[in-house]
Amino acid sequence: MFHYLHLALHVLVPVAVAWIFFRSEWKKAALIMLAANLVDLDHLLSSPIYDPNRCSINNHLLHKMLPISLFGAMMFLPAKPLRWLGMGLMIHMLLDAVDCAF
């Protein structure tokens, strides 16, 4: 049950952030933030690819601290699309970190 909620939040939270903070361009912002979920392609490098008991943070290539810090820095770039991508990536990592706590 929690797994489905986790997956739903990966869609709902970025859309809500785009709607609340970027109302005039929310659709574009939401699409870019949702594209950040492609970061999970790094799960394909793990064996097994999916393990419901594995915490993604620090276990997958793009879920390690160095990439996460770069994603955070992207949120401060002047170009809106890169800023939105950074926000989407950080939202994704925060949701994955919450998943690790449960």
Query: What's the domain range around 59?
Result: 2-101
Q: How far apart are CA 43 and CA 40, in angstroms?
A: 6
Per the structure, the count of domains in the chain is 1
Question: pLDDT grade, residue 1 (50/70/90)?
Answer: low
What residues contact residue 21 under an 8 Å CB cut-off, 6+ apart? 29
pLDDT(62) > 90: yes
Q: How far apart are CA 75 and CA 15, in angstroms?
A: 16
pLDDT(35) > 90: yes
- For the entire predicted model, the pTM comes to 0.95
Residue listed under structure tokens 């952030």: 17
Mean pLDDT for the stretch of residues 69-94: 98
Predicted confidence at residue 3, as pLDDT, reads 83
